[in-house]
Amino acid sequence: MELSSEIDYITIENQEVDFPRHFHETFCISLIKRGIEQIEFGTHSILSESGTISITNPYEVHANPVVNSDLKTSFDTIYISKDVMKYFVGNNIILNTQINEGKVLREFLSLRNSLAKNNPKINETHLTAFIDAIHPFSKPKNESGEMMDLTNLQFIEKFIDYHIKERFTVNQLAQLASLNKFGFIKKFKSYTGLSPMNYVIMKKVFSAKSLITKDINLSELAYDYNFTDLAHFSKTFKRYIGICPSAYKLKL
């Protein structure tokens, strides 16, 4: 399996801003290096201290508020696609939200260091070891209980994905769904956990992130996705990713 597009990592030093409600289409696995991380889910929240691995599963809607502005939080995050996890494990799984186990921490660091070297063969070796280490902290996923069910709104989801670079309005999306504006907002949020426009902004940021290369012109990318300018794009990107697009570009 080609892993380059299925796994990614990022380092956040001294988190300064709250991450708004959002979800990832991947497993989002973080090692807290300093401070305390908070993850707010719909009905509860968890706090993870330094040395803890925190996890959000694909499509789990959550927010990451700053716990203490005087106590900066730093962490490394590895994103692993659902397809890669299923390829190595053999079925769809849900991971525990927190892991405090020495072997898992060691394998996380080995994989993180391997990704920084960008060697595919080494990456696969360390990825296999890491997934083997975290597999005991999982359970099979109940396919009938999807965390985000868009069965009745698949057309809207596909429309947004296909036209992701364009400008959207709630009225436009509601009309496509054959619903009035307020009925559409209520139904969409009940399915996704997000308001329609927050969903669109989140998808724009993640889509733009996937196109960033060492040579890309970030201003052109910002305008392509209908952000007002590079400053607007950078501010929005940092809200969801934790670093600005120029910093993300530098790590590639």
Q: Taking Cα atoms as reference points, which of 153, 62, 78, 155 lies closest to residue 110? A: 78
Residues 117, 123: Cα–Cα separation, whole Å: 9
CB distance 168 to 175 below 8 Å: no
Q: What confidence score (pLDDT) does residue 1 get? A: 62
What is the rounded (10 degree) CA torsion for 77, 83, 85, 88? -140
Model confidence, pTM: 0.91
Q: Taking Cα atoms as reference points, which of 11, 38, 14 lies closest to residue 109? A: 11
Q: What confidence score (pLDDT) does residue 148 get? A: 40
Residues 67, 70: Cα–Cα separation, whole Å: 9
Q: What confidence score (pLDDT) does residue 152 get? A: 53
Q: Write down all domains in the chain, each with its CATH number in brackets.
A: 7-144 (2.60.120.280), 151-250 (1.10.10.60)
Query: In this structure, how many other beta carbons lie within 10 angstroms of the beta carbon of residue 233?
Result: 24
Q: What confidence score (pLDDT) does residue 5 get? A: 75
pLDDT along the chain (252 residues), means of 10: 81 94 97 96 93 97 92 95 94 95 97 89 91 96 52 79 96 89 91 93 97 97 97 97 96 86
Q: What confidence score (pLDDT) does residue 144 get? A: 46
Q: What confidence score (pLDDT) does residue 176 get? A: 87
Q: What confidence score (pLDDT) does residue 143 get? A: 58
Q: What confidence score (pLDDT) does residue 146 get? A: 43
